[in-house]
Amino acid sequence: MTANEMAGYERVSAEIVRAAVTAADRVILDGCRGNTEVLAALTAEVAQSFAEKTVLMLRHEVYKKEMLCEVPPEVLNKGH
């Protein structure tokens, strides 16, 4: 990837993230009805849900690699 391509990718990625956060903020703000504690709680729950979703996506990719023998089993089982 060239420097220009990387810069373009970073611009597009930043815009996507900004738009997603803005959309989530609108939904959360509408739902909390001005209650700052509820705002914080809902924001945390949304962040946690996204983190859990990301873990599932990453696990899926790791398991695919494990099936293709690209990741040694001892790496995957470390800490279990």
- Tens of pLDDT, residue by residue over 21-46, are 999 999 999 999 989 999 999 999 99
Largest CA distance in the chain: 52
Residues 6+ apart with CB under 8 A from 46: 24, 28
pLDDT exceeds cutoff 80 at 68? no
- Tens of pLDDT, residue by residue over 46-57, are 999 999 999 999
pLDDT of residue 80: 57
pLDDT of residue 70: 67
Residue (of 31, 54, 23, 50) closest to 40 by Cα position? 31
